[in-house]
């Protein structure tokens, strides 16, 4: 796993036991939004769709404000993180080619179990996610499987953990998710035809998502497999930092500084971290030379956001207080949640501990 900004990387999430109920019925809706979007009142027409309800353990009390997390198993789309409505409901139009979704609900440090739902064009899948509070915390494993020689993703690899059922299979991007894993030292096993099987001892932390990078060795090559793990900071996970980091680095949009990178580099403050690592950012003020109206001697002021709030200039935040930093050098690469009239030259997004 790379520690440098601009290189794809991963990092933890919490989980709780919960019950999941889902069914499907033909769509009666009339509108066809393009791509994964929030469902509209008249539906998603020919697109697959999800009607999700988040409730308590009894199934009788809706939980408004819970965070819905959706990963697409077979299409290259950014995972969704959205807050459900006042009645605990959320309608989502899936990407046109999506065949499967993996989803769960989070409420603070608690979570439902994950549901894996098959999708079909023009059909609505109804999913009920039950969040169980005050239960024994479990852990979650999320990661990818790749070829240790070519570094290409490996699909359909079987990933299992002792004491956990069922197994998971890596998708077309080599990614997998195992939720509701008992905490403690567990044995993870990864198998795929054409590769030497891997068995690895992994420490599962209660309430935390651990990212695992697994490099399988093709047979009959003789070399050690590659395994790297890192625990995600819950605060950054809730804010969607890790999803933006993964997809931003995959597409080359943005610079990202993880907790591990910050800890290793130990910058004196956030300004030193950004200016020293991101080309074109000026020292005195957060200005981007590359966005200066086409003239090399002009600069354009970037938006600065600290823990979700706009900031007038460089904040005086020491490196020891930094949890993560995101830098977007133009409006084309800027996620919608950080957009606005003051962000036409990009944004520096800072998360503190």
Q: Where are the CATH 2.170.130.10 domain residues in the chain?
A: 253-352
If you average pLDDT over residues 231-252, what whole number do you get? 86
Which residue, among 129, 32, 61, has the nearest Cα to 90 in the 3D structure? Answer: 129
pLDDT value at 122 more than 50: yes
How much is the average pLDDT of 30-52?
63
285 token code pair = 């003020």
Given a contact cutoff of 8 angstroms between Cβ atoms, the answer to whether 76 and 82 are in contact is no
Lowest mean pLDDT among 22-26, 74-78, 94-98, 226-230: 22-26
Confidence class for position 7, pLDDT limits 50, 70, 90? very low
Q: How far is CA 33 from the centre of its chain?
A: 23
List every span in the chain annotated with CATH 2.60.40.1120: 20-130, 139-232
Does CATH place domain 20-130 in 3.40.50.10540? no
Mean pLDDT of 245-257: 89
Architecture of domain 253-352: Beta Complex (2.170)
Q: Considering the domain 139-232 in this protein, what is its CATH number?
A: 2.60.40.1120
Q: Is the link from the previous residue into 212 a cis peptide, with omega within 30 of 0?
A: no
Residue 34: the pLDDT is 35
Residue that is written with structure tokens 């004196």 in the block: 268
Contact 237, 12 (CB under 8 A): yes
- pTM of the entire predicted model: 0.59
Q: What is the rounded distance in angstroms from the CA atom of residue 329 to the CA atom of residue 164? A: 43
Q: What is the spatial order of strands in the sheet that 255-257 belongs to?
A: 255-257, 322-328, 347-352, 303-306, 309-311
Residue 58, token pair as written in the block: 């009894």
For 155-171, the pLDDT digits (tens) are 999 999 988 878 899 99
For 177-203, write each residue's pLDDT tens digit.
Answer: 898 888 889 999 999 999 999 999 999
Q: How far apart are CA 8 and CA 161, in angstroms?
A: 25
């Amino acid at each position: 796993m790379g520690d440098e900004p601009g290189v794809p990387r991963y990092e933890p999430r919490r989980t709780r036991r919960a019950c999941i109920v889902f069914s499907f019925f033909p769509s009666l809706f009339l509108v066809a939004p393009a791509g994964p979007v929030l469902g509209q009142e008249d539906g998603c027409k020919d697109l697959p769709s999800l009607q999700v309800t988040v409730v308590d353990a009894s199934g009788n009390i809706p939980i408004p404000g819970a965070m819905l997390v959706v990963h697409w198993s077979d299409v290259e789309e950014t995972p969704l993180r959205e807050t459900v409505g006042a009645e605990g409901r959320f309608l989502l139009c899936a990407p046109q080619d999506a065949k499967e979704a993996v989803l769960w609900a989070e409420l603070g440090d608690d979570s439902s179990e994950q549901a894996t739902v098959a999708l079909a064009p023009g059909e609505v899948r109804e999913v009920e996610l039950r969040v169980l509070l005050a239960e024994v915390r479990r852990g979650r494993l999320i990661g990818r499987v790749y070829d240790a020689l070519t570094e290409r993703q490996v699909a359909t690899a079987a990933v299992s953990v002792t004491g956990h059922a069922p197994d998971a299979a890596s998708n077309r991007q080599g990614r997998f998710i195992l939720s509701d894993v008992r905490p403690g030292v567990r044995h993870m096993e990864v198998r795929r035809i054409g590769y030497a099987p891997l068995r690895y001892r992994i420490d599962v932390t209660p309430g935390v998502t651990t990212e695992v990078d697994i490099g399988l060795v093709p047979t009959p090559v003789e070399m050690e497999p590659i395994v790297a793990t890192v625990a995600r900071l819950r605060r950054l996970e809730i804010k969607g930092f890790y999803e933006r980091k993964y997809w931003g680095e995959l597409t080359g949009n943005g610079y990202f500084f993880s907790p591990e990178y910050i800890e290793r580099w130990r910058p004196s403050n956030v300004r030193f971290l950004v200016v020293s690592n991101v080309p074109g950012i000026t020292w005195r003020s957060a200005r981007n030379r590359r966005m200066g109206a086409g003239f090399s001697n002009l600069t354009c002021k970037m938006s600065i956001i600290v823990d979700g709030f706009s900031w007038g200039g460089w904040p005086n935040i020491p490196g020891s207080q930094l949890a993560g930093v995101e830098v977007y050098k133009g409006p084309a690469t800027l996620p919608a949640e950080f957009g606005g009239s003051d962000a036409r030259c990009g944004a520096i997004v800072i998360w503190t501990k």
